[in-house]
Structure 1
Amino acid sequence: MWFYIVAIVVTLIDQLSKIWIRMHVDIGDSVFLGRWEITHYENSGMAFSLFQGYAWLFGLIAVLFVIGVLIYRRIGAWHGRFPDMIAGFLVGGAIGNGIDRLVFGQVTDFIVSRSGKGILNLADYAINIGMILLVIYMAVRFVKKRVCHAH
């Protein structure tokens, strides 16, 4: 259940934030919301604006990724609240950006990174959170296996 809750919440918040940006901030314009710089940017490529014009391909990859996660979960390879939450973040982010790519041919980015070297969106952050949680989960499992086998 956690998988679906996290994936749906991530997708909804991502899409609502992008709709708000497209409605209220012109492309290339910047505004500040507190400490956050918001700059409306449309990206038809992938991270760091690489491979511009291939949004359809990355949209297809997002669809295949989501199908893969659903199959992986179906066969019972992953189970438990924490893995479900991890998968929810990853799938919600993939769906959020996949919708943009397949519907608009580009992804709406707007959150200027603190380093100033990139503009992201909430789906990107969800994917990053999912990846960090996945690394932590795998590291903990690895350590537990080593400790159990040592005794």
Structure 2
Amino acid sequence: MAVIALLLSVAAVAVDQIIKLLVTSNLKPDSGFTVINGFLNIFYIKNRGAAFGILQNQRWFFIVVTLAISILLIISLFKYENHTVYSYIAAILIIGGGFGNLIDRILHGYVIDYLSVSFFPPIFNFADCCVTVGTVFLMIHILFFSNLDSDAERVIRKK
């Protein structure tokens, strides 16, 4: 299953990079268009920071942190023994999204962002969505499922 998860992460990176290629090929920086009036816009910006524009111009910090987290998640795909569907989905999305933005930081020095929704002011991208949703799935796994096997083992040992 770990190999399949890695392949799905690669697919997420491919989707992210294809969308970014379409955006950069069809829009100039700081320009965009409305998809759904009052709700969704495509607006190409060069983000040199993190979410919400924090930590501007910290390219190498983000590269190192992204690589470290991605390596830990890849190792966990093969070594962790209590995977659930939530932990696999979390790893797929976080690795895929992390590498999608990592490619931008290495190649361009910034992340290509393009999604703008009315209820959420920062502009973001598909990779950001993957990391965010993956983190939610990881939290669900940690909070509700990571101790199930160890709890069962304790009950068996007491008998």
CA distance in 2, matches of 1:137, 1:72: 13
Q: Secondary structure at the match of 2:12?
A: helix
2:95 maps to amino acid: V
Of the structure 1 ranges 37-46 and 68-77, higher mean CA displacement relative to structure 2 is found in 68-77
The code of the aligned residue for 1:27 comes to P
Opposite residue 115 of structure 1, the aligned amino acid is F
Q: TM-score, normalised by structure 1?
A: 0.86
- Whether the 8 Å contact between 1:78 and 1:84 is mirrored in structure 2 is no
**Map of 1:24 onto structure 2:** 26
Counterparts of 1:1-150 in structure 2, within 5 Å, are: 1-34=3-36, 36-141=40-145
Where 1:117 maps in the other structure, the secondary structure is: strand
Q: Does the CA-based 8 Å contact 2:43-2:114 persist in structure 1? A: yes
Gaps of 5+ in 2: none
Counterpart of 2:125, as a letter, is: N
- 3-state SS of the aligned residue for 2:121? coil
CA distance in 2, matches of 1:140, 1:121: 29
Amino acid aligned to 1:46 = A
Q: RMSD between aligned alpha carbons?
A: 2.4
Unaligned runs of 5+ in 1: none
Sequence identity (%) = 21
Q: How many corresponding residue pairs?
A: 150
Bigger Rg, structure 1 or 2:
2
Task: Give the superposition deviation at 1:15.
Answer: 0.6
After TM superposition, the score normalised by the length of structure 2 is 0.82
- Structure 1 position 143, deviation (Å): 8.4
Structure-2 separation of matches of 1:68 and 1:116: 30
Could you tell me which amino acid in structure 1 is paired with residue 51 of structure 2? A
Aligned CA distance change for structure 1 residues 136 and 107 (closer, same or farther; 3 Å): same
Contact map agreement 1:92 1:126 (CA 8 A) in 2: yes
